[in-house]
Structure 1
Amino acid sequence: MSAQRFAELDAVVVGSGPNGLAAAVTLARAGLRVQVLESQDTIGGGARTLDLGLAPGITHDICSAVQPLALASPFFRAFDVRARGVELRTPEASYAQPLDDEPAAIAWRDVERTAAGLGADAAAWRATLGTLAAHWDLVVELSLGDKRSVPSALLSPRTLAAAPMFGALLGLQGTAAWNLPFRTERARALLTGVASHAIGDLPSLALGATSALLGTLAHGTGWPIPVGGSQAIIDALVADLRAHGGEIVTGHHVSTWRDVPSARAVLLDTTAGAAADILANRLPRSLEDSLRRFRHGNAAAKVDFVLSGPVPWRDAEVGRAGTQHLGGTRAQMAAAEAEVAAGRVPEHPVTLVSDPSVGDPSRIQAGLRPLWAYAHVPTGDTTDPTELVTRQIERFAPGFRDVVVASRGVSAADMPHHNPALVGGDISLGQVTMWRMIARPTARWDPYRLADTGWYLCSAATPPGPGVHGMNGWHAAQRVLRHEFGIHELPDLSPQTADVTGSATDPSHPRS
């Protein structure tokens, strides 16, 4: 499809990941003429589900399989993916932390059941994660804001319990005091494992914030698995965009501003460095330099497996969770992450694993099932991770090799082949530190607006950072509506039956 089909465009979005599509849907709902440009032949960026040809009928989630924020993100709550036919199933256990010398620690959906398995730390888990889970919506608002405005949650009397606890847990887990308030290795490892959804130093404030948010949601909403794969969420966004007059053009690579059709606003769901390259010499020099200085973080190397049966976990309870965090004890995980930070591939890397059939049995075809896994490695590492990940799974699931039918390893260096934004395997699109979660990618008051150019950055390289939540795109789209079109009221994103595709010719349309 030609990128020039529309006679006029109000907005162009470069990149069709969750953030790009969140921005595009928001703008189209406001009555704008929107076009999305995607360099790949398939839509969805890090949330695609594809048949890799490893086994008949078996599909794999290319980057993200489990979606902890699909029920919690303010954008997805406004968009209401469930009302659009996306089935999100939450396993009875959100995540598990197997250990070498004792039973695994399990984060069940039920706080009490989780606490009961933590022995001496039962009361501490209830007081911290239990309190936060009861106010999960406030925790989400505190975590997923634009880092520039005061969250309205702070003005609510309900925050008197949640906000101080969130701050205390973040502070403890992000500093040398991170062993408090927990006394057992099982509780400490359970909370540290969930921090591994970000890649960085342990302990650190940014990873402490990750563990506090995702640990809260493990009990508050659960960690849902989309039936059919993460692509189901992407398909719902695409359907809404097209229903409101938007277009998507695949196979259209943007390397310079000249590759983008004329529009009043352009939003880039790209890395900060790619934004600087596309707009080379068209931005204020200080801004261009700042974008180029935004460093990439360490990386993930991915392995897609096809199995003939479930993973034979030594502790059978581990298999009831939708996600497994493999790294052992808190000290072992911290040592592995330190190796990565030093540029070395650990012998036992922190590894995340998920069998989506735990929540979605339809992913099993002819007795075969997909298994999703990635390991933390240095940026740009060229090692095929298959053996590395297989050994780490075997550590906690002896006999795993016997159920592997096929596999495909993707090194950190090769991750950009299916998503150019994942430079060197950096799935976060930039360093994950507390400073860089605020000054992301720069310390400017408006981190989305690329000066007075009509161009914006809407990717995970902006606040609130990485994750399938659409908030980066939603925050950027709000600024586009306000600055470029004078629209100050957010459009309703809920499912509607009214056909508004004629809005482009409506006399009240912002460009008319």
Structure 2
Amino acid sequence: MKKYDAVIVGSGPNGFAAAITLQQQGLSTLLLEGRDTVGGGMRTKELTMVGYRHDLCSAIHPMAMASPFLRSLPLADYGLKFVHAPYAAAHPLESGEVGLLCQSVERTAAYLGVDEKKYKDLIAPVTEQWETLALDIMGPLRFPKRPFQMMGFGLDALLPADWLVHSFKTEKARALFGGMAAHGIQPLSNWGTSAIGMVLMAVGNKYGWPIPVGGSQSIADALQTYYLSLGGQVQCDFWVEDIRELPPHGMLLLDLTPRQLLTLKGIEWKASYRKQLERYKQGMGVFKVDWALSDPTPFRDKRCNQAATVHLGNTYEQIAYYEKMTQQGKVIADPFVLFAQQSSFDQTRAPEGKHTGWAYCHVPNGLDVDRTEAIEAQVERFAPGFKDTIIGRSTMNAVEMESYNPNYVGGDINGGLMDIRQLYTRPVRSLTPYRTSNPAVYICSSSTPPGGGVHGMCGYAAAKVALKDHHDIDVML
């Protein structure tokens, strides 16, 4: 068998990022994937009816263009194209008002009335400084390269969203901020939840929330084509249960969660490391629905039809209550729903004149209860007649999400709870959490900093550490 400098297990964005970073430095690498196609959370399939292409997991990609790693790759040369909706996100209220996130700080602020100045004061600095801030925010815990920038960001970002929201006076601004912060999939009373809202708003203002033409699979396909062009090798249909079955290698990088590391055969973890992995906390799960639709979604406010993502949860208070109850293991009505309508902007997603819909809500981890009716009722609440447009449907509960992708433990798509205690010290408390107790094995999944999302920064950071440890190579973005 051929010996490789490194074997990478898992072909999600972080597995590819690790493999590409190593291959760029001249190492010989093999990327292994358990399924028949690469992609992890970046897959697109005909889930409902022939001709309707649905994103199985991630769909809209705020962090794709905001990621220093992904921006460094020539993926457009390898077939990746993005389209942008007129609005990155919309947040309708029952009152008839709509909060809108635009690819502009000025335009977004202008929609917020008396909160215009507050929005600019909060988000404009993050937008303007993003390219330098990102290297500190989207990496391991360390002394920041630009400490004053980071301090300015952190003074607001570390606050619970429940506190920072009081800076806004209007219901519209409060709701818009709450929907953004709720992407963290945790109670909005948690410390650090403001950071999630601020970052999503800032990158939306700077880059928009792009939609990959052809589906999220297009990102995986471009990553694979670029990786192969560097000389890397990919093998699908290879589930790794025992590392003794792997080809000979110098380093092993695992795009896996702590739970999966604990079940791997052929490797012994130090007792102290194993104990930390066992204490790692998972976040809430998700319940997801995909629809084949006969018509565009009939939102009351047509600007919602021009948004890449629509947040459906009404007021900040209602969203915060739902997230709090869900974290406590309760199933309540009126979920916070994240809804996308990719076919409105990408005609490859559905037959001519038809449409697709994509949505999910947060649920208690591991819940196998059907939330289809609750999600559809929430869409109908802001788009009367939506149910009449449904001609096909596919659902995945939290248990089925994990079955599809074992990295989604209990349906947790963030690779673990991203609260203040696990945001940078995941999965263990270490300045280099990518290292394991085995000096030849590294973890490069979203269970390491900076956490969930299609950005590849976890994989890049793990590969950077491995290169320094084993080859004395420093890589920089």
TM range (shorter): over 0.9
Q: Deviations over 1:431-469 (max 9, x none)?
A: 110110121011023201112430000000001111110
Q: State the shift of 1:59 in Å.
A: 1.0
**Could you tell me which amino acid in structure 2 is paired with residue 167 of structure 1?**
G
Structure 2 matches for 1:77-156, cutoff 5 A? Answer: 77-147=71-141, 149-154=142-147
Structure 1 pair 253/399, CA: closer, same or farther in 2 (3 Å)? same
Alpha-carbon distance between aligned partners in 1 of 2:136 and 2:332, rounded to the nearest angstrom: 34
% identical equivalent positions: 37
Structure 1 pair 83/169, CA: closer, same or farther in 2 (3 Å)? farther
**Could you tell me which amino acid in structure 2 is paired with residue 144 of structure 1?**
M
Q: State the shift of 1:57 in Å.
A: 1.7
Structure 1 pair 146/246, CA: closer, same or farther in 2 (3 Å)? same
- Kindly indicate whether residue 17 of structure 2 is the aligned counterpart of residue 22 of structure 1: yes
Q: Deviations over 1:365-390 (max 9, x none)?
A: 13222211111100111112322211
Alpha-carbon distance between aligned partners in 2 of 1:192 and 1:288, rounded to the nearest angstrom: 36
**For the Cα contact (< 8 Å) 1:124–1:181, is it kept in 2?**
yes
Q: State the shift of 1:279 in Å.
A: 5.4
Structure 1 pair 107/176, CA: closer, same or farther in 2 (3 Å)? closer
**For the Cα contact (< 8 Å) 1:128–1:165, is it kept in 2?**
no
Look up the match of 2:252: 266
**What is the Cα-based RMSD across aligned positions, in Å?**
1.7
More deviation, 182-191/354-363: 354-363
Alpha-carbon distance between aligned partners in 2 of 1:69 and 1:218, rounded to the nearest angstrom: 9
Q: State the shift of 1:81 in Å.
A: 2.5
Could you tell me the TM-score, scaled by structure 1's length? 0.89
Look up the match of 1:439: 425
Structure 1 pair 397/246, CA: closer, same or farther in 2 (3 Å)? same
Look up the match of 2:157: 170
- Kindly indicate whether residue 412 of structure 2 is the aligned counterpart of residue 426 of structure 1: yes
Structure 1 pair 175/210, CA: closer, same or farther in 2 (3 Å)? closer
Find 1:386's aligned residue among 372, 375, 400.
372
Alpha-carbon distance between aligned partners in 2 of 1:487 and 1:342, rounded to the nearest angstrom: 46
> What SS does the corresponding residue of 1:428 show, helix, strand or coil?
coil
Q: State the shift of 1:423 in Å.
A: 1.3
**Could you tell me which amino acid in structure 2 is paired with residue 166 of structure 1?**
F
Q: State the shift of 1:471 in Å.
A: 0.2
Q: Deviations over 1:470-490 (max 9, x none)?
A: 000000001111112232345
Find 2:40's aligned residue among 22, 27, 45.
45
**For the Cα contact (< 8 Å) 1:166–1:212, is it kept in 2?**
no
Look up the match of 1:240: 226
Alignment size in residue pairs: 477
Q: State the shift of 1:335 in Å.
A: 0.7
Q: State the shift of 1:83 in Å.
A: 4.0
More deviation, 234-243/10-19: 234-243
Structure 2 matches for 1:395-474, cutoff 5 A? Answer: 395-474=381-460
**Could you tell me which amino acid in structure 1 is paired with residue 85 of structure 2?**
P
Alpha-carbon distance between aligned partners in 2 of 1:111 and 1:446, rounded to the nearest angstrom: 35
> What SS does the corresponding residue of 1:462 show, helix, strand or coil?
coil
Look up the match of 1:65: 59
**For the Cα contact (< 8 Å) 1:196–1:325, is it kept in 2?**
no
- Kindly indicate whether residue 279 of structure 2 is the aligned counterpart of residue 293 of structure 1: yes
> What SS does the corresponding residue of 1:152 show, helix, strand or coil?
coil
**For the Cα contact (< 8 Å) 2:61–2:211, is it kept in 1?**
yes
Q: State the shift of 1:426 in Å.
A: 0.5
> What SS does the corresponding residue of 1:177 show, helix, strand or coil?
helix
**For the Cα contact (< 8 Å) 2:344–2:355, is it kept in 1?**
no
Q: State the shift of 1:346 in Å.
A: 2.1
Alpha-carbon distance between aligned partners in 1 of 2:349 and 2:418, rounded to the nearest angstrom: 33
- Ranges in structure 2 where 5+ consecutive residues have no aligned partner: none
Look up the match of 1:335: 321
Runs of 4+ in 1 over 4 A off after TM superposition: none
